[in-house]
Amino acid sequence: MRIHMFNGQLLPLLDAPGDLDPEKVQAKLESFASDGGASLYVHGKAVVARIYDENSQEIAGLSDASYPRLELVGSAMDAGQHLPPDPDGFRTTVRLEGAPYVGVAVPLLNSNKEMVAHAEVVFSLSPSAAAKLKRNMLRTVFYVIAIVLATALTIYPIIRGLLTQLVKYSGELLQANLETMLVLGGTIAKRDSDTDAHNYRVSIYSVRLAEEVGLSDNQIQSLIKGALLHDVGKVGIRDDILLKPGKLDEQEFEIMKTHVNHGIDITSRAKWLSDGQPVVGGHHEKFDGSGYPGGLAGEAIPILARIFAIADVFDALTSKRPYKEPFSFDKTLLILEDSRGSHFDPDLLDVFTRIAEQLYKTYSGEENDISREHLGTIITHYFH
């Protein structure tokens, strides 16, 4: 439909002051259609043509009564919004019950190029036009797929290289964090006992107990961090108290207890280490609430701290210290049993007792090599 030609024929009415006269517009539309203006469209046939005023109210219209799907097209137009189009108009392709249609909306302008009304026309596509439309759509899809594939093939090596670098840097960062944790834990261990072996053994004992009670990998990661750094706060305790060979007096013991708060402060300064704080801050709590620093009792004590408390005392009893020889395995278990429900969680102690003998045979009295190697294997398993 040559809508722009129709705009020219309608110009006297569009230039007239006041509202458009629907009867005159209808007459112009019918006259234009009878002259062949609405009969053919380059891609098919006009099915419905409607004219709307500036308030989007229909004032004239024509339809092809011979078209078999006229009611379908009319209903679709009735259901749409008839907003004035942009000055350049618009065109869209839709499918109604599987058949393609072209919808066109164009403004009707007066001599001053002001929009006074607009026309909406729906065309049914001819078979050749429908086939061409399908070909164009398939061609467009093919081009899009080709462009996407070409782009992907072009940037794939770059993305792969970047991902490889990212994995490498992530691994290096993790390794640096692990080394920092080991060095930090080893620093205070050497200051306190001239060896890292205690840290290695209590970490292994704690992990084995945690595995037996079914803790998650994330929880065991936190447990390892806390076990290796449990006494890091002792770096803030002066030597005459930390290294005193005899029993601490009451005032000295109060100072010694502050190592827990020092440890929490130190680990809080590194986000990667902060999840070890349940052990750092809770490994001196006791199940009956008589421990420090919080006097927590029962399950109020984090399970990681309850696990570590058993491992820590077990290693202390079975290890040689400047002030004592190592206790036998049987004597150690008797001492642990005496603290059931007071110092230790009874349920966790039951589980540990089942695995303690094998741990004792493997690690008791072992100073570095085996425990360091086995702890390295554990760390690799849970952190890589």
Specify whether the CB–CB gap between 82 and 121 falls below 8 A: no
Output phi, psi for 57, to 5 deg.
-100, 135
Residues known to be catalytic: 234
Spatial separation of the C-alpha atoms in residues 368 and 231, rounded to whole Å: 18
Spatial separation of the C-alpha atoms in residues 283 and 292, rounded to whole Å: 9
Specify whether the CB–CB gap between 43 and 123 falls below 8 A: yes
Residue showing tokens 């429908």: 130
Spatial separation of the C-alpha atoms in residues 8 and 6, rounded to whole Å: 5
- What CA–CA distances, in Å, run from 96 to 52, 72, 79, 329? 23, 8, 13, 86
Specify whether the CB–CB gap between 313 and 324 falls below 8 A: no
In terms of residues, how long is the chain? Answer: 384
Spatial separation of the C-alpha atoms in residues 226 and 221, rounded to whole Å: 9
Question: In the Cβ-directed half-sphere of 290, how many Cα atoms lie within 13 Å?
Answer: 6
Of 44, 52, 100, the closest CA to residue 73 belongs to 100
Question: In the Cβ-directed half-sphere of 18, how many Cα atoms lie within 13 Å?
Answer: 2
H or E stretch including 140? helix 127-193
Specify whether the CB–CB gap between 293 and 261 falls below 8 A: yes
Query: Sheet containing 58-63: which strands, arranged edge to edge?
Result: 58-63, 44-53, 115-125, 99-109, 90-96
Spatial separation of the C-alpha atoms in residues 316 and 321, rounded to whole Å: 8
Spatial separation of the C-alpha atoms in residues 55 and 140, rounded to whole Å: 38
Specify whether the CB–CB gap between 285 and 309 falls below 8 A: yes
Spatial separation of the C-alpha atoms in residues 104 and 32, rounded to whole Å: 17
Tokens of 127: 């078979």
